[in-house]
Structure 1
Amino acid sequence: MLPESPTGLQCKYWHYDENLLTSSVVIVFHNEGWSTLMRTVHSEPAIRAFREALFSCRFKHLKAKLDDYIKLWNGLVKVFRNERREGLIQARSIGAQKAKLGQVLIYLDAHCEVAVNWYAPLVAPISKDRTTCTVPLIDYIDGNDYSIEPQQGGDEDGFARGAWDWSLLWKRIPLSHKEKAKRKHKTEPYRSPAMAGGLFAIEREFFFELGLYDPGLQIWGGENFEISYKIWQCGGKLLFVPCSRVGHIYRLEGWQGNPPPLYVGSSPTLKNYVRVVEVWWDEYKDYFYASRPESKALPYGDISELKKFREDHNCKSFKWFMEEIAYDITSHYPLPPKNVDWGEIRGFETVYCIDSMGKTNGGFVELGPCHRMGGNQLFRINEANQLMQYDQCLTKGPDGSKIMITHCNLNEFKEWQYFKLSSFIDNYCEVLMLVGVPDFHI
């Protein structure tokens, strides 16, 4: 449990209506460990809020053993299974359809532990305004020893707003002075442009009025931004609630994830990102494609119904959203310059390429066999002479002998020069000399 903080002490003095809206808690899971799932269900303060639904499974212990265990709850907790693996996005939409008892839907990941008095602060703002979506402050649970601590990236009180960079990677930025000025008390709920997506509460009928999640989003990725933009641009608001605390176990190092099912195909997350920016970003989508050039040619399906939804509901523009709600994101993640070119960085007359190996913020890139699949071997050089991957720049390491990848702004690590030595072949084979990495070309 977190040690008592000044803000935590203040939370004890809030009074909430005794007749709060009722709730259904929906937990979506696939191949979840027994202990983490049971710790979530048994989070003692959570029990009073449960009405319906647990969802999906495959491991042996998630079949008969789970069914028998759930019987002990006398119908308070229910299990529903999909006929195929739908992924967490569509499973949450199905969960909304199954969970009919609660006026509010509360979504939790299957590896969470709620804190004391988490429920009333989370639901109270929705009781006052049905178009409000609320998110608890999500603390970090160490998966090795189950110790708990606040997430990093917030202000002096640990408060942060949900944000993104222009490749649509989730970020947290400190609570701005503008938002602080709107509060009379530090522990009041505050506005956030986006949520992480795993833990939130929303009025059930309002969620249906928003169309639930885009049915074209598959498995995982981008749904947190899609629902955040939809809420803000179509008349709702998204609030982070300091007095509602929920701990979350993040994946341990080495976790590779569950591969997508065969029917989905390749790159579902990146395709989801493209659908989100094509529907909601308007002219700002060019900044996404500048950061993720490989996504420009991805097929993302039919979005005509989503465009019609925006028009029919008089949803506001992304420019309005950036100026009125997400005004502070560009100060942390400036709009990217245009790309000069992009591709892999291949050793001259070799089959080896520079590979970030997923490292960031000071890690060193390595050499690996060129695989022509993008990912950690995909880099871009922009008009600011920066060699980048996502929001990270390549530069010389401290001793000048290795190449480091690290977060950068528009005025850093501009030592790269671009010389085109051959005519166009394709984005992965065009020869581009990069001064700074001897004997390498892109």
Structure 2
Amino acid sequence: MRTVHSVIKRTPRKYLAEIVMIDDYSNKDHLKGRLEEYVKQWNGLVKVFRNERREGLIQARSIGAQKAKIGQVLIYLDAHCEVGINWYAPLIAPIAHDRTACTVPLIDVIDGNNYHLLPQGGGDEDGYARGAWDWSMLWKRVPLTKKEKEMRKTKTEPYRSPAMAGGLFAIERDYFFELGLYDPGLQIWGGENFEISYKIWQCGGKLLFTPCSRVGHIYRLQGWQGNPPPVYVGSSPTLKNYVRVVEVWWDEYKDYFYASRPETKALAYGDISELRKFREDHNCKSFKWFMEEIAYDIHEHYPLPPKNVEWGEVRGLDTNYCIDSMGHTNGGIVEIGACHRMGGNQLFRINEANQFMQYDQCLSKGPDGSKVMITHCNLNEYKEWQYFKNIHRFTHIPTGKCLDRSEVLHQVFLSDCDSSKSSQKWEMNNILSV
């Protein structure tokens, strides 16, 4: 409701056609009769539509496009936002000049505990960032480049971004339908922000971030629990989405995704023939063109990954114990846990650059000199490991020590190599997502 109130109060009334709310099969009582009574105060300006099953945010947005029939431009907001003063005109102006422009406000952070508003971190000296990704398809923000700055006369002008975060954007309604909305095969959430970004750029449109349009957004608070995917969707919907996106849009670059996410190679991602036909019919450009002309700076921050030597779970030889990141990142300590064959926090890879990795994190010696930590890394860091498959050994090159474990204490650590110690013997078993 805070989102709705802020939109009504801070948007010139003559430009506000309707506010459409999509209830994605919620089980919350206060979103039923109480909500319907509350929105009556706006005499039809605010409308609630209810999905007959849980669709997830991707298809809920496509459904919203079909339900919103009055306005010329669709503006998407997450449910937990607050628009800033004068948010509307700077967001819409580029679309008025070019109907194939899709615009994104600068997203500030609302602290969910006290509602304080803070600018989002990262970016350049002005806080301006471009939307990006690493090769395992994790969302990233990179500073605005000199090239983009020189394309503008002032700091307040919109600037090009290779990708959007996905929750907040504006697009002409007819143009969104011409693009086919989101790929109907994408389920629940994940990857849709990249899919629409690639489709816009490669098929003749443009994606612009608009510094003068500010919208605050509450990010998930600690302890937030999401809903599991509905039964009809099956497992790994986000990974399947990623695979669909790279198979349709990345061309030969998809090999780099599979190097970063080897567990997805056997995923059944469904029929993409219509999407490939769309690319052909609309003379959409190649991903190579996109990487060279629009996303030219991503290589600097996220270089193309080396090939994997081995990947999968790292299991203590002849045991049921595996190395597990326990969800730790950026200096957290890895542990030993019961092998579950589900990948995730137990999925690792060792590449030709001697990096021992999980997604965009590398294993290295912890601050105590013994335990093993996991921390964010680029391709030039933490080239520290060798795996000798024939003798089941991981060696830490800088120290000459071996990867060891204590199943009693659930610890992973470095110790002097000893070929007689069974706790220093490991095997890597491939795990494929299902």
TM-score scaled by length of structure 1: 0.88
Partner residue in 1 for 2:414: none
Alpha-carbon distance in 2 for matches of 1:321, 1:332: 16
- Aligned partners of 1:162 and 1:172: how far apart in 2? 5
SS in 2 for 1:421: helix
Could you say what secondary structure the match of 1:95 adopts? helix
- Contact 2:361–2:376, Cα closer than 8 Å, also in 1: yes
Match of residue 399 from structure 2: none
Q: 286, 300, 303: which is aligned to 2:269?
A: 300
Indicate conservation of the 8 Å contact 2:11/2:86, yes or no: no
- Asked if the contact 1:52/1:101 (under 8 Å) is kept, the reply is no
Does 2:325 align with 1:356?
yes
In the TM superposition, structure 1's runs of 4+ consecutive aligned residues that sit over 4 Å from their partners are none
For residue 122 of structure 2, the aligned residue among 135, 153, 157 is 153
Contact 1:50/1:77 (8 A) holds in 2: no
Partner SS state of residue 123, structure 1: helix
**Contact (CA 8 Å) 2:148, 2:160: kept in 1 or not?**
yes
Amino acid of the residue matched to residue 18 of structure 2?
R
- Per the TM alignment, residue 89 of structure 1 is displaced from its structure 2 partner at its CA by 0.5
Q: Of 68, 82, 95, which aligns to 2:51?
A: 82
* Equivalent residues in 2 for 1:321-336, closer than 5 Å: 321-336=290-305
Q: Using the alignment, how far apart are the partners of 2:357 and 2:224 within structure 1?
A: 25
Q: CA deviation at 1:305?
A: 0.2
Identity of aligned residues (%): 80
User: Which residue of 2 is the match for residue 375 of structure 1?
Assistant: 344
**Which runs of no fewer than 5 residues in structure 1 stay unpaired?**
1-37, 423-431
The question of 1:92 aligning with 2:92 is answered no
Distance, in Å, in 2 between the alignment partners of 1:284 and 1:307 is 16
Residues of 2 paired with 1:362 and 1:398: CA distance? 9
Residues 34-68 of structure 1, C-alpha deviations (whole Å, 9 max, x = no match): xxxx1111113158436131001331110111111
Q: Secondary structure at the match of 1:89?
A: helix
Cα distance in 2 for partners of 1:416, 1:62 equals: 53
Say whether residues 1:248 and 2:248 are aligned partners: no
Deviations 1:223-260 (A, max 9, x none): 00000000000000000000000000000122231111
SS of the residue aligned with 1:41? Answer: helix
1:191-223 deviation line (CA, Å, top 9, x unaligned): 000000000000000000000000000010000
- Provide the residue aligned with 2:378 in structure 1: 409
Secondary structure of the corresponding residue to residue 344 of structure 1: strand
**1:222 paired residue number:** 191
C-alpha distance in 1 between matches for 2:27 and 2:238: 22
Shift of 1:349: 3.9
Whole-angstrom distance in 1 between the partners of 2:134 and 2:110: 25
- Residue 45 of structure 1: aligned partner: 10
What is aligned with 2:231? 262
Q: Which residue of 2 aligns with 1:433?
A: 393
Residue 367 (structure 1) shift: 2.0
- Aligned pair count reads 396
Distance apart, 1:69 and its partner CA: 0.9
- 2:226 alignment partner AA: G
Aligned to 1:55: 22
Give CA deviations for 1:262-282 in whole Å, capped at 9, x if unaligned.
000000000000000000000
The residue correspondences of 1:4-403 to structure 2 (distance < 5 A) are: 38-43=1-6, 44-46=9-11, 48=13, 49=16, 51-56=18-23, 57-403=26-372
| SS at 1:145 equivalent | coil
One-letter amino acid of the counterpart of residue 331, structure 2: G
User: Which letter maps to 1:109?
Assistant: D
CA-CA distance at 1:433 after TM superposition? 2.4
Question: Aligned partner of 1:53: which letter?
Answer: V
> How far did residue 368 of structure 1 move?
1.7
- Deviation, 1:406, is 1.1
Residue 421 (structure 1) shift: 2.1
SS at match of 2:240: helix
- Give the TM-score, by structure 2 length: 0.89
Looking at structure 2, the residues matched to 395 and 256 of structure 1 have their Cα atoms a distance apart, in angstroms, of 31
SS at match of 1:401: coil
For 2:224 and 2:363, locate their aligned partners in 1 and report how far apart those are by CA, in whole Å.
26
- Does the 8 A contact of 2:90 with 2:210 survive in 1? yes
Distance 2:111 2:425 in 1: 41
Contact conserved, 2:17 with 2:70, CA < 8 A, in 1? no
Alpha-carbon spacing, 1:377–1:47, altered in 2? closer, same or farther (3 Å): farther
In structure 2, the CA distance between the partners of 1:253 and 1:440, relative to structure 1 (3 Å rule), is farther
1 CA distance for matches of 2:269 and 2:318?
Answer: 36
Q: Could you tell me which amino acid in structure 2 is paired with residue 41 of structure 1?
A: V
Partner AA of 2:21 in structure 1: L
Q: Which has the higher strand share?
A: 2
- Alpha carbons 1:131, 1:236 under 8 Å: kept: yes
SS at match of 2:248: helix
The runs of 5 or more residues in structure 2 that have no matched partner are 397-402, 405-423, 429-434
